[in-house]
Amino acid sequence: MSDHKTMTLTLIVWRQKNANDPGKFETYTAKDITEHHSFLEMLDCVNEDLINSGKEPIVFDHDCREGICGMCSQVINGVPHGGQERTTVCQLHMRKFKDGDTIYIEPWRAKAFPIQKDLVVDRTAYDTIIQSGGYTSCHTGGVPDANATLIPKEVLDYAMDAAECIGCGACAAACPNSSAMLFTSAKVAQLAVLPQGKPEAAARVQAMLNTMQECGFGNCSNHYECQAACPKGINVKFIAKLNREYLKALFK
């Protein structure tokens, strides 16, 4: 904890004024960075330097900075969220880098996530997918007691594994087809196994899959890049579950 070594890094960052600007890479230097800086704190320092030298700071999405809101979205050295297992950009720390490193920083790149500025993209498409069926149609009030329907722990754990998705978009950004299959399947699978979600399972999977395609995401061809990039470790088995649910729905 106590060493005061600092690092100097070269950053090659995607800068794009707005949605219509073609954009380009710019090179910056990050100085006096310690191993305890988070990646975003390193960028904060670079931005303070940029402002003080009369330049425009780098715009990037972030909010909770504790790995749960899903707002941060950067491709670091070609890997969404930077490649540390089960870790969002905001939780990535500079001890994973070394003095003198060159780091490439880019936004998510997927047709359905248009770039708005620098590293900021529009992820409305994920909301659109959820709006097409990622819920149970229960009303506020008028529902049974929470213990009225028992749910075996294995089922619950499976649902929770799927429900951990933070909707950051790394899966689509990592996919060679820009598919949102991991994201879509996580919600489909969670609700398909829970008794509360079963009645609408068939309609849900069809609506969500169709919407995913309408939004401009590609299809899944089993590269599994999504699982490798997912900061919450969402498993591709949920894609298999989605496919099974989809087939079941077709024969209903």
Question: Starting from the edge strand earliest in sequence, which strands make up the sheet with 79-80, in order?
Answer: 24-33, 7-15, 102-106, 75-76, 79-80
Which lies closer to other proteins via its Cβ, residue 202 or residue 223? 202
Contact between 22 and other proteins by CB under 8 A: the answer reads no
Choice from 15, 65, 223, 237 touching other proteins (CB under 8 A): 65
CB of 66 to other proteins, least distance (A): 5
Asked if 80 contacts 69 with a C-beta cutoff of 8 angstroms, the reply is no
Residue from 188, 190, 212, 226 binding other proteins (CB under 8 A): 190
Closer CB to other proteins, residue 143 or residue 219? 143
Q: Which of 8, 31, 78, 86 binds other proteins (CB under 8 A)?
A: 86
Q: In this structure, what token pair is assigned to residue 156? A: 């619950």
- Say whether residue 137 binds other proteins (CB under 8 A): yes
Question: Which CB sits closer to other proteins, 57 or 223?
Answer: 57
CB closer to other proteins, 181 vs 193: 193
Q: How far apart are CA 10 and CA 136, in angstroms?
A: 48
What angle is formed at CA 51 by the lines to CA 45 and CA 56, rounded to 5 degrees? 110
Question: Using the rule CB under 8 A, is 20 a contact of other proteins?
Answer: no
Nearest CA-CA partner of 198 in 159, 160, 237 = 159
Supply the DSSP symbol for 200. Answer: G
Q: Which stretch binds other proteins (CB under 8 A): 104-112, 145-153, 175-183, 220-228?
A: 145-153
Asked whether 76 and 170 are in contact (CB, 8 A), the reply is no
3-state SS of the chain: helix, strand, coil percent to 5? Answer: 35, 15, 50
Residue 103 pairs with which residues in a beta bridge? Answer: 11
| Among 74-82, 85-93, 170-178, 242-250, the segment contacting other proteins (CB under 8 A) | 85-93
Applying CB under 8 A, the span of 32-40, 74-82, 220-228, 236-244 interacting with other proteins comes to 32-40
Residue 16 is classified by DSSP as -
Contact 59, 27 (CB under 8 A): no
How far is residue 55's CA from residue 76's CA, in Å, rounded to a whole number?
22
Q: Does position 164 bind other proteins by CB under 8 A? A: yes
Q: Which of residues 94-133 bind other proteins (CB under 8 A)?
A: 95, 116-117, 120, 122-124, 126-127, 130-132
Which string of x and - marks every residue 200-239 that binds other proteins (by CB under 8 A)? Answer: ----------------------------------------
CA 18, CA 16: separation in Å to the nearest integer? 6
Between 96 and 222, whose beta carbon lies closer to other proteins?
Answer: 96
Closest distance between other proteins and the C-beta of residue 37, in Å? 6
